[in-house]
Amino acid sequence: MGITRIEPGSRMSQAVIHNGTVYLAGQVGHGTTVTEQSKDALVQVEQLLAEAGSDKSKILSTTIWLASMNDFAEMNAVWDAWVDPKAPPARACGEARLATPDYLVEFMIIAAVD
């Protein structure tokens, strides 16, 4: 089985497909609130999944990093409106210092590919 890289750069690819699975790099969004950043990041997730031949109904696992767990409920409101209720993935969420202080949330996704 080959490896396909989506939007490869010198440091990382935005997604890597191998053996029927797509692994997305951590996706962050634009905006000043967790709601805005979450919505924007999840749009990027959907675009990358589509490019890989997948969609949110095929997400296997999601890891969500928040700069502050105080934003857990706010992020969950966006997530709950976005996630496929018939196919919710396994999920973990934790607090971490993200790449810049401007980032409030980051989504890491693993999904099946058709």
The string of pLDDT tens digits covering residues 13-64 is: 999 999 999 999 999 999 999 999 999 999 999 999 999 999 999 999 999 9
| pLDDT in the model for residue 114 | 85
79 pLDDT band, cuts 50/70/90, is: very high
Q: What are 62-75's pLDDT values in tens digits?
A: 999 999 999 999 99
Question: What CATH number corresponds to the domain at position 70?
Answer: 3.30.1330.40
| Total number of domains constituting the chain | 1
- Domain around 104: 3-112
| Residue written as token pair 């990027």 | 44
* 69-96 per-residue burial string, b: 16 or more CB within 10 A, e: under 16: eebeebbeebbeeebeeeeebeeebeee
